[in-house]
Chain A
Amino acid sequence: MKAVSRPSRSGDPATPPRRAGYSFNWVGRIGLGVILFWGLVAIFGPALAPYPPGEIVDWDYFSPMSADYWLGTDYLGRDMFSRILMGARYTVGIALVAVTLACTGGVVLGMVAAVIGGWFDMILSRLLDAFNGIPSLLFGLVAVAAVGSSIPVLVLTLAAIYLPGSYRFARALAVNINTMDFVTVARARGEGTPYLIAREIFPNILGPVLADLGLRFVFIVLVLSGLSFLGLGVQPPNADWGALVRENIEGLSLGAPAVIFPSITIATLTISVNMFIDNLPTKIRDRS
């Protein structure tokens, strides 16, 4: 346990000066760059699209890359480049909202369980562990089958799938912090549970929790793409990247760019998040 090393580390001879341990190495920077790129595309992409994403612009379906249609056209002759720009909004947007919900819920419940302990902790942990016993894609299938697919349903389902994992992670961290002297002191001072959670525990688990959030984002992108690929995710005429692969899967035997590029965009997003998380500055990652 490396405990919470408070600021006074200037005396440490091994640490080079100037915010050492807070800088990213180049792999992390590339990852961050790609993440920011897709983030911007998700926000501004639809405005940049050369053609309306839903409109059939070419008589030829599955046409190859050309000057007019940068990434070729899809199975109906719609411009792939525009559709991928539009898909970014669905994939990144849904995954981001879902992961935020999952981690906020999981972390708050985890900290409350760690601080309160006792029966509350035990029942909640058992219950959420049981939900971990359902394979994620299956959970998605059953939930979407039951309620029908729409974007709010997708977001809530994905958040529900990943909340237990986030809870378990945050609880394990918070239990460790909870036994430390400064928390005991705060408790002895008469601080209430909300104060302990917000001021003593939360700041000390923030780093690892953010790293965990990144990994969960990747999982959510993967499950969302999987669901869309099975035809249960974003519904036509809209499409996220997984749905784009599904729509154009017929083009696979032709080697059409329409099926290859959406796959590549998913991979660039997930791999770059992984690269970023794996190369987080040590100070952020090792806070706990």
Chain B
Amino acid sequence: MSASLATWILVAQRLAIALLTLVIVSFAVFFATEMLPGDVAQILLGQAATPEAVAGLREAMGLDEPALLRFLGWMRGLVSGDFGTSYVNDMPVAELIGDRLINSLRLAGVTTAVSVPVSLVLGIGAAMWRGSFFDRTVSILTISVISVPEFMVATLAVLIFAVWLGWLPALSYGADTGSLAAMLKAYAMPVISLSFVISAQMIRMTRAAVIETINTPYVEMALLKGAGRVRMVLVHALPNALGPIANAVALSLSYLVGGVIIVETIFNYPGVAKLMVDAVATRDLPLIQSCAMIFCVSYLTLITLADLMAILSNPRLRR
């Protein structure tokens, strides 16, 4: 099972690419927000400001330095944990983000804990009984969820669970988490909506990964030998499909990044995504940049993780 040198070279290569990508991405994030038409100092001080005041603020904020220098300074700050100061309320960005990040991570964590087991069971089941009524139902449902926008899944979930059935509150107010029951209720809607979005991808990819393994000669051999369908999939096919499945799970979890933006907004959930959408409305650049970097880093981490799983689980690279 021990990985060979070739594998480690591939892993190192992949990590280097991820690092390079991160640099390019931060470059893009920084300069996209720098392209803002109009002068930041002018916007902050309003129309009535004198040219001297604007020039003074520009100097104080370091805006008169070349963009590349500011980029390097910004990067240095990010690495050392200094995210800058919000334009709008003059608070350190790190402080604004702190609690929000924990909230978002909690939402993502609960969603992962709910959706991964469910998706694996449904995906493997659909592959096991391929072509059956169950498989087709799962297929149609997942395709439908994938091809509608995230906000529609959330809207439908509210309509069904909060309006028609009246089981859950439609909005999740962060403050209302006194008792365990209240907290569960407050989390339920965002988690359900997000789980739907993530699971649909995961189920499809898991099913595809297992079916690919089922189509190999050695699994066919197991079938010819007289193994039942369940035994054929669970004992013969599944061990070799684990790598692709892990890859699929990590890849699907990267959809959390997009989904969380919509879901937090709809349910008014106090997370990083909501913070960022609000920051976009007020054009609070340091805050937007930091939030964007948080999302890009998590996205890149998950994608890289998916690739690493694929590399490490490839038996052709083992010696």
Residues of A participating in the B interface, judged by any CB pair closer than 8 Å:
126-127, 129-131, 133-138, 141-148, 218, 222, 225-226, 229-232, 242, 245, 249, 252-253, 255, 259-260, 263, 266-267, 270-271, 273-274
Contacts and interface: CB of A to CB of B under 8 A. Distances in A.
Contacts of A231: 281
A138 B152 contact: no
A230 B265 contact: yes
8 contacts: A135-B296, A135-B299, A226-B149, A226-B262, A230-B265, A249-B266, A252-B163, A274-B146
Interface residues of B, number: 52
Given A130-B28, A134-B25, A138-B296, 8 more contacts: A130-B21, A131-B24, A133-B21, A226-B149, A255-B159, A259-B155, A263-B149, A271-B143
B71 interface: no
A145 B280 contact: yes
Contacts of A271: 143-144, 147-148
A271 B33 CA distance: 35
Contact of A142 (B17, B29, B303): B29
A1 B122 CA distance: 32
Contact of A252 (B144, B159, B279, B280): B159
Top 5 A-B pairs, shortest CB-CB distance = A130-B24, A270-B147, A145-B280, A137-B258, A130-B21
Contacts of A252: 155, 158-159, 163, 170
B299 A134 contact: yes
Contacts of B258: 135-138, 226
Interface of B: 17-18, 20-22, 24-25, 28-29, 32-37, 143-144, 146-152, 155-156, 158-159, 162-164, 170, 254, 257-258, 261-262, 265-266, 276-277, 279-281, 283, 288, 292, 295-296, 299-300, 303
Contacts of B170: 252-253
A271 B200 CA distance: 14
Contacts of B149: 222, 225-226, 229, 242, 263, 266
Contact of B152 (A137, A218, A255, A266): A266
Nearest to B35: A146
A198 to B, nearest CB: 31
Considering residues B20, B32, B162, B299, which has the most beta carbons from chain A within 10 angstroms of its beta carbon? Answer: B32
A133 B25 contact: yes
- Give the residue among B35, B266, B280 with the most A Cβ atoms within 10 A: B280
Nearest to B282: A145
Contacts of A255: 159, 163-164
Nearest to A221: B149
B295 to A, nearest CB: 5
B150 A134 contact: no
A245 B265 CA distance: 13
A260 B281 CA distance: 26
For A134, A259, A266, which residue has the most chain B Cβ atoms within 10 angstroms? A134
Contacts of B162: 253
B24 A127 contact: yes
